[in-house]
Structure 1
Amino acid sequence: MIGCLIIHGFAGTKEEIAEVETHLRSKNWLVYTPELPGHTGKKEDLASVTYMHWLAMAKVALEELFDRCEKVYVVGFSMGGVIAAYLAGRYPVDKLVLISPAAYYLNPKQMFEDVKGWFMEGVRGELDEDEYFQMYRNKIRNVPVKATLEFAKLVQKIRPMMEAVDAPTLIVQGQKDGLVPPKSAEYIFETISSEDKELYHFPNAKHYIWYSDAKVEMLERIDQFLETKTGDGQSETTRSVI
């Protein structure tokens, strides 16, 4: 049996990656999408945990999959991508997928463009229908300063460890991501030791790539990567803009 661990992002929930989870479950794999400690949507809960709690939860979930499955894949979104890379550097995962991985965070140029667009939408009274604005607003409201500092500690701790990753790796990144700059994906791509690695930039996608026209293409890329056999002695290094 194939097992797949999916790790959600900072201050998010498993629901934010439900479309990816549903897609992978359709393959009849054993898919785990644990809720990281403190990520209940309540500000006080997120303030009560540290990044070590997030790593511990991810480790427990991964070890359970290893106990039950012949192959194990790990998929991480945003901060979950950083945690996924950490796990792949310490456990023999078969394949690794990183979606908008937050080895660096905040893209000031794109954030300025987003805010400018939201201002114009606010003038026109359209913000109530803007999914991105609603998600950003909710994150800002529900994230205590202490949790943000724990997120920063996590990234600072794990970023120097990326070189330990040698599993086949797929990285996908939106070029208009206002939270994670494209240099984050580039850094990981250049730093990991994997001989089989692919990086795809989606020029019109933001942080949540599946909320854009790139959704279908992204899921197809993930399918192609996860369903292609490895171990044939060949390696591939690919960087593309779609």
Structure 2
Amino acid sequence: MSVGVLCIHGFSGGPYEVEPFAKYLRTHTDWLIVEPTLSGHGEKLHMNGFTARHWLMDAELAFRALAKKVDEVMVVGFSMGGIIALYLAKRYRVTKLVLLSAAAKYVSPKQLVKDFKMLATEAYHRNLANNELFLRYQHKFNNVPLASTIEFMKLVRMVEPYYQHIQIPVYIVQGKLDGIVPYHTAQFLFDQLASTDKDLYFSDNGKHHICFEKDCFQWFSQALCFLRKK
């Protein structure tokens, strides 16, 4: 039986966010791994004019195309991609899910306040050019329209009623030091999902981009075992 895996990146990101796990799957399986880029996303952001409807349709089209080539499709979703993965699972024949830093609840308020206080202090001292956080997110700060963020929030609210209807196997990964998605979100999802076959992995030192953390190969192997399990 041929297997396909659809890997969906996060809001204002690109396939690079899930590439380490996708590469691991390619190395250890003969599965067909697909990593689409959602409209307006990628290495160079051009998000103006694109809505949640566009991103969901992108994912649906990628799923349908992959489903024509293989016997079964599993979906991996990072951050907003995790929410889109749940959307697909409600509407299509997805066999298993892997949810990475899934943004069912977005932004840890405490961490957000802490980070932006630091940026404000740096700005006051005219030292933004040397601030690691600012440099990392400067591109997003400058290229993510408020309207796009609102569309993302709409998408999250739209999919939330689906959680209680998801019954397929689910593997959830969450970093406890995630400054974007509060880490207790993973437990919330775990409890809400109707599936009886579900696992939850917490990375003690993991941040939001969980595929790049030091312990990633530990959960990479566990997630693969989960996906292979009959």
Give the TM-score, by structure 2 length.
Answer: 0.88
Q: Is the 8 A contact 1:8 1:16 kept in 2?
A: yes
Aligned-partner Cα distance in 2 for 1:129–1:19: 26
Tell me if 1:87 matches 2:85: no
Residue identity over aligned pairs, in percent, reads 40
Aligned-partner Cα distance in 1 for 2:128–2:212: 18
Residue in structure 2 matched with residue 238 of structure 1 by the alignment: none
Aligned-partner Cα distance in 2 for 1:13–1:220: 23
Aligned-partner Cα distance in 2 for 1:22–1:119: 38
Aligned-partner Cα distance in 1 for 2:150–2:128: 33
Aligned-partner Cα distance in 2 for 1:212–1:23: 14
Q: Is the 8 A contact 1:40 1:46 kept in 2?
A: no
Q: Is the 8 A contact 2:40 2:50 kept in 1?
A: yes
Residue in structure 2 matched with residue 33 of structure 1 by the alignment: 35
Q: Is the 8 A contact 1:104 1:183 kept in 2?
A: no
Residue in structure 2 matched with residue 100 of structure 1 by the alignment: 101
Deviation at 1:38, TM superposition (A): 1.1
Q: What secondary structure, in the 3-state scheme, does the structure 2 residue paired with 1:94 have? A: strand
RMSD: 2.4
Q: What secondary structure, in the 3-state scheme, does the structure 1 residue paired with 2:94 have? A: coil
Residue in structure 2 matched with residue 173 of structure 1 by the alignment: 174
Q: Is the 8 A contact 1:11 1:41 kept in 2?
A: no
Greater mean alpha carbon deviation, residues 201-210 or residues 73-82:
201-210
Deviation at 1:148, TM superposition (A): 0.5
**CA distance 1:118–1:50, shift in 2 (3 Å):** closer
Q: Is the 8 A contact 2:17 2:78 kept in 1?
A: no
Letter in 2 for 1:166: Q
Spell out, residue by residue over 1:25-48, the C-alpha distance to the aligned partner (whole angstroms, 9 max, x if none): 2222111111001114555x3011
Aligned-partner Cα distance in 1 for 2:128–2:147: 33
Residue in structure 2 matched with residue 204 of structure 1 by the alignment: 205
Aligned-partner Cα distance in 2 for 1:28–1:192: 29
Residue in structure 1 matched with residue 9 of structure 2 by the alignment: 8
